[in-house]
Structure formats: C-alpha cells, structure tokens
Structure 1
Amino acid sequence: MQVEHHDLHHEFPEYLDYIHSLKTASEQFGHMYDEYHQLTREVERLEEEDLPVDDFTIENMKKQRVWLKDQMYRMLVAHKNGV
C-alpha cells in the first residue's frame, strides 16, 4: 500500500528554520512535535503493513495528529511574525 508521508518537514517546508528554532526554544512545541511524529510513524506503519486495526482507532489517531499539526502551525506563524 502506498502511504503518503506527513512529517512536518513535508507539510511545512517554508517553516523549516522556524520548526528547528521552536523545537529548541519551546518545550511545549517540542512535546507536540515528538507526539506528532510518533503518531505519524504509527499510522504509517499500520497502513503500510496493512495491520488489522479498527477504523475508530486509526481515525482518532489521525484526528489527534491533525489537531497537533494545527496547534504547531499556529505557533510557527506566531514565531515567524515575532508574536
């Protein structure tokens, strides 16, 4: 199964420097970044290996990943704009 990768460097290539900066400057961002990538790896593993998992579980993982991505995006924009 072809799986699309969702790491933040692919999602926000224009924010690469800000991602690195916030990972070191913000503990909150760092935790969200780690959780996002852990969820991404697990979702991709489940999809690539076509492992049996109920739809509810994988959908919740994807929803959590989207929520994290949205929160980190807001932090990246604020950081970029000096807020």
Structure 2
Amino acid sequence: MSENGHDLHAEFPQHHDVLHTLKVESTAFRELSERYHAVAQEIHRIEHGIEAASDQRLEDLKKRRLQMLDQVSTMILEKKAA
C-alpha cells in the first residue's frame, strides 16, 4: 500500500525495526496489520473512483483505519517498553 502512503512503515517510519519485530513475533500484530492493509486498500480504491461507496462508508473506513493505527501505536509503545 506504499503507493498511497498509508502502509504502516509510512505511518511509523521511525519505528521500522519495531514493526518488523512485531510482525515476526506477534500473531495479533500480523492479523491487525493485514486488516489495516485491507482497509487502507479499500479507502484507496474508493478515493480513486475504482470502487463506489457512500460518503458515510468512506468516513467509517477512515475511522476504522485510525482506530487500527491507535492499536499499532500502542503495540509499538508496549514493545519498546518491554
């Protein structure tokens, strides 16, 4: 998803190593990362007219993406504190 700037490494460039460690060590992180990627792709398709959706649907997806970013941020902080 790097073409639209919403992959996790673009969102957290200063935490590249922690993201990699989480991806290797945490099933929960991998699942969250996959869900995040799917939502980011759907938003990208809607915003570029590839897929049709209501404004409410797009807003809901963006809110979900932000919630997932909050979860990732928490996981990063927890990993760094460990």
TM-score by length of 1: 0.86
- Is 1:15 aligned to 2:27, yes or no? no
Deviations 1:38-61 (A, max 9, x none): 110110111112643111111111
The aligned amino acid for 2:62 is: K
RMSD between aligned residues: 1.6
Equivalent pairs, count: 80
- 2:75 corresponds to: 75
Higher relative contact order (CA 8 A, sep 6+): 1
Higher helix share: 2
Residue identity over aligned pairs, in percent, reads 34
Runs of 4+ in structure 1 over 4 Å off: none
- 1:64 corresponds to: 64
The aligned amino acid for 1:9 is: H
